[in-house]
Amino acid sequence: MSKYDNLDARRELEQEITKDLERALGKRGFSVRHNGTYDSHTPAGKPDIEVWNDYAHINVEVTKSTKSMQDREWQSIKDHFEETKRNYSSKKCFVWFLSPETYYRTINSIKDWNFAHQDKDDQKFLPICFSTFEFFVNKLIESPQEQYTRREILGLFDNFVQFVDDENILRHFYERLFNTDMKLKEELEKREEERHQRVVEELISGFKQLEQKLREERIALSVNAIKNVIYLVFIKLYEEKKEKEEQQRNRFTLTSFGEYQINVRDKKTAVHKLFNDIKNDPELKESKLFTDEDELSNRLKDKFVIENFIKPFEQYTFYTTKVDGLGAAYEVLGQLSGKDVTVGQFFTPEKVVKFMVKLAELHPSDVIFDPACGTARFLTYSMEDMINKVKGARNEAEKINHIKREQLFGTDDDPTVAKLAKMNMYIHGDGKTNIKDEDGLTQFDKDGKTDVILTNPPLGDLNYWRSIYSDDFRLKRMEVIPKRNITQEKLNKVLKQIAEHQAKLNSGNMPIKKAKRVQKRISDLQRKKTELEYEIKRGNCKYIVSGKQMKGGALFLNACKQYLKNKRDDSALPEWKGGKVLTIIDEGVLNTDNYGEVRNFIRKYFFIKAIISLTRDTFVPVSNTTTKTSILYAIKKPDPNVVQKEPIFFGHAEKVGLNTKKKVCANHLFNSGDDLLSKYFEFKAKVLASYDGLTFNQETFSRQGFLGGVLEQ
């Protein structure tokens, strides 16, 4: 809400904006004129307010209209501008369109106009909502004239592809003029997060309705219905990506798709032609994102797409905002396919993903793997983190390309979800999309090749008797799977029999002949005992697998041990050399008696760096489950015989940025100043400072002191 929202449109609004513009821009060499009077708005036929200097002329169009009422403003705005351009042909001419909030159809009209004039260095329109405009002029008013120059102000019309909604336009102002304003940055992040949550809920509801209509009208049935939804979402994302990155006009808006249809032979199925054009993109073909089987339903016609996808979803922009269109489609996929969220087939909340990536302290050369990648959130955030670390470096482009193509890998054994992950990686700029629709427990080619694993594996029980798992897999590779030692059981039975027979002999009441037979039996058992003990000593025991399933977190930890390098950083201190795993794990693995052997496995093969307990509400906003989980951060031991000497960081996050009602709340994980990430790095610094050469000194650590505490609620 701004001060302009409550002003009378006829007698006050334009007049107040004119005064503010004069105070903000007058001292920077601009003239300002209101084309109305002191007690009446501007009559038809003229721009409401004009701002100019010797170089440029800006029409300022003001309205209190909202939503579809703004449609009636568009033609007059264009007419005013074209007249202005004729009158001031030697100047650079622009338009600011001010309103309480910019309607998406107005945004799209302005976007089409700007694209039509993209080869000009002027003639751009910039929509600004009242709250952003108030912030803008107040900043200029309170700042000296040397700050925020005329050149910088006119530079706001650059990068017009950023003008996709009011939040993005505010971010555009922040990035172009006010990037040192931390308060604005916080406000931006809060607004974007709140809008993101609201829009994702709307998308989930809308995608469900779309999937239902596809089935009701017999266009696509069963899983093919949600696949068609996913393909349509990807078309929209692809077109928005090309629009932003290559300034190529988006062919999947209401206006542009109608124009696209004109050049297609079958005017009823242009959407099929568009999808095939996209699938033949050389980059997508190289990454093998789509196969010949990936087709829109042949019953899907343009009329249905226009009415049920383009029109209702045109108000949302996925690519240049925080809105996760593919993520919303994934959530619908999970709900409609009856997936059991208790086994972990749901989102990892964004704040948790970011926290784990920050905690991992990735190096730009790290090879990252997520064996249960879902829609690849860990991979996209890891990619962003590593790319940011090489910006400005020598051979920056080459390094970024290598990160995208050679350092990010993922698997998901659900083919549809794996395809979503591939789409997500492509949209985020991945150059090759190393995602496979395979079981994450059987990636034997990854053994010893991975620097860092970031993952949220299925939290419930997994069946380890699936046909794809061999006996060697169950008996040898997966040490955490419960097994019975048949050789030891036989030895125990023999020892019991020897004891029983010896007791009979010792009783002294046995006839001589029978005693000789018992003595011979004991001798035979003694030989058997010696044979079994020898086999056990040599490690030649025979085992059989017990049970049928166990928690996915335990099984995936075992697989991670295999995938990680023994030495990731040979120059590091002894307990920091190996590959890293950061995983979300069911606390049953960490706490219950049934998983004692798994905890022994973790202690044997890993140095445990941190355990962060998460509130039961962590996954409620994304899955409606209250599974109690923790983040486990561990580093692989190069030598399993080495005993950990360093202490372990323990923390609990009661709030993770989103409450059970999907509203933004406090975030105890990071960015609060007094947060778990800061506490962990303080702890780590004191651990590393407690080494005498290569030996950790507990007394030194104790003297330094490390204070925990309770974060503010």
Full set of structural domains in the chain with CATH? 3-180 (3.40.91.50), 192-338 (no CATH), 483-545 (1.10.287)
Min mean pLDDT across 149-153, 506-510, 534-538 is at 506-510
Joined together, the tokens standing for residue 143 give 């700042």
Task: Tell me what pLDDT residue 330 has.
Answer: 73
Percentage of residues of the chain with pLDDT beyond 70: 95
Rounded mean pLDDT of 366-373? 97
The residues that bridge with 411 in the sheet, in sequence order, are 436
CB contact at 8 A, 422 and 375: no
Task: Tell me what pLDDT residue 709 has.
Answer: 60
Percentage of residues of the chain with pLDDT beyond 90: 68
Task: Tell me the Cα Rg of the chain.
Answer: 33
Task: Tell me what pLDDT residue 341 has.
Answer: 37
The residues that bridge with 56 in the sheet, in sequence order, are 92
- Which band of pLDDT confidence, cut at 50, 70 and 90, is reported for residue 149? very high
For residue 671, pLDDT over 80 is answered with no
**Distance between CA atoms of 369 and 350, rounded to whole angstroms?**
18
**Distance between CA atoms of 208 and 647, rounded to whole angstroms?**
49
Q: To which H or E segment does residue 239 belong?
A: helix 223-246
Rounded mean pLDDT of 60-84? 95
Joined together, the tokens standing for residue 330 give 């994934």
pLDDT digits (tens, 9 = 90+) for 328-359: 777 776 666 554 333 344 567 888 999 999 99
Joined together, the tokens standing for residue 150 give 């005329």
Q: Is the dihedral of CA 356, 360, 363, 367 positive or negative?
A: negative
**Distance between CA atoms of 452 and 438, rounded to whole angstroms?**
19
Rounded mean pLDDT of 95-107? 95
User: DSSP class of residue 711?
Assistant: -
DSSP, collapsed to helix, strand or coil, labels residue 567 as coil
**Distance between CA atoms of 22 and 34, rounded to whole angstroms?**
10
Task: Tell me what pLDDT residue 710 has.
Answer: 54
Task: Tell me what pLDDT residue 186 has.
Answer: 81
For residue 323, pLDDT over 70 is answered with no
Task: Tell me what pLDDT residue 322 has.
Answer: 59
pLDDT digits (tens, 9 = 90+) for 181-204: 888 888 887 777 777 777 878 888
Query: Pick from 568, 566, 579, 575: which is nearest to 694 by CA?
Result: 575
Model pTM score? 0.82
